[in-house]
Amino acid sequence: MSFTLRSVKVAPNSASLEEARIRVFDFFRSACRSIPTIMDIYNLDDVVTPSQLRASIASQIRKNCHITNPKVIDMLLFKGIEELNNVVEHAKQRHHIIGQYVVGSGGLVQDVGTKDQANSNFLKNFYETNYF
Amino acid sequence: MASALRSAVLRHIRVPVAETLTLNGSKWSLISNVRSMSSHGDDHITKEEIIHRVLDVVKSFPKVDPSKVAPDVHFQKDLGLDSLDNVEIVMALEEEFKLEIPDKEADKIDSCSLAIEYIHNHPMAS
């Protein structure tokens, strides 16, 4: 825990949306540049290509593209940097990376049956994936 | 003390007189032609190859229609990509040519022609 906190520095708030935007791109670049290290330490060469991981990182960022409040973007950016640090520090295991970023939210098992269409959304999400 | 050490060392060191040191011989010219540890010179890629590889990278991007890709397309205006896709393509180019493009330069690269130009002028592109 402590080594994570040491490596994560909280930058001052972004003054404007434009500054927050630039920070997001910088973060995306640093994440992309650490992809070779990540593939090396988690031994991902046989399950995923660097471009797939790049697309996966981009889709995580794009999931929040509607947000226009710089403070919220800063907060999400902080969480992203924290996550990236955890990944690069090998604080995770291989199946975390594969489940979260390789298989993604689509899930390995797709249930296309008709039997539980009326079930609650909670249950459907529960069956689908651990990761949100 | 130092002179004693020096003579002791010199007594045990033999420098072999090798043929490779002959200046006029063929071996010297062999050495000067192949600079195997040098980062300059022979491995520079041609502009045609750069164009070909840049276009391949852009075409392999999932959101891009490969038939629209040409050496002078603009990523956002012609290919319908957004700014994040733009950064992603520049990152893919960095990986392909084994470069690290500084952030300020990377922001300016928004079309195939600029990317080709930048990589062509970069000494470390390979």
Q: Is A23 a domain residue?
A: yes
Of A28, A51, A55, Cβ closest to residue B87: A28
Q: Is A106 a domain residue?
A: yes
pLDDT of residue B20: 47
Q: Answer yes or no: are the C-beta atoms of A7 and A85 closer than 8 Å.
A: yes
Q: Is A6 a domain residue?
A: no
Of B62, B84, B92, Cβ closest to residue A28: B84
Q: Is pLDDT of A84 > 90?
A: yes
Q: Domain range holding A87? A: 12-128
B51/B120 Cα distance (integer angstroms)? 9
- What residue type is A39 in one-letter code? M
Q: Domain range holding B91? A: 47-121
In terms of CA atoms, which chain A residue is nearest residue B86?
Answer: A25
Asked if residue B117 and residue B55 are part of one domain, the reply reads: yes
- For residue range A93-107, what is the model confidence (pLDDT) as tens digits? 998 899 888 887 666
Q: Is A63 a domain residue?
A: yes
Q: Is pLDDT of A109 > 50?
A: yes
Interface touch B84/A50, C-beta < 8 Å: no
Q: So what's the ipTM on this one?
A: 0.75
User: Rounded to 5 degrees, what angle do the CA atoms A48, A110, B85 make?
Assistant: 45
Q: Which two tokens stand for residue A74?
A: 């800063």
pLDDT-based confidence at residue A83 (cuts at 50, 70, 90): very high
pLDDT-based confidence at residue B22 (cuts at 50, 70, 90): very low
| The total number of structural domains that make up chain B | 2
Q: Is B100 a domain residue?
A: yes
pLDDT of residue B46: 86
Interface touch B84/A25, C-beta < 8 Å: yes
Interface touch B91/A61, C-beta < 8 Å: no
Q: How many CB pairs under 8 A join A and B?
A: 35
Interface touch B85/A54, C-beta < 8 Å: no
Q: Is A7 a domain residue?
A: no
Q: Is A3 a domain residue?
A: no
pLDDT-based confidence at residue B63 (cuts at 50, 70, 90): confident
Asked if residue B86 and residue B57 are part of one domain, the reply reads: yes
- Counting other chains too, the contacts that A44-50 makes at CB distance below 8 Å and 24 or more residues apart are A44/A94, A44/A97, A44/A98, A44/A102, A47/A98, A47/A102, A48/A98, A48/A101, A48/A102, A50/B95
| The total number of structural domains that make up chain A | 1
- For residue range A28-81, what is the model confidence (pLDDT) as tens digits? 999 999 999 999 999 999 999 999 999 999 999 999 999 999 999 999 999 999
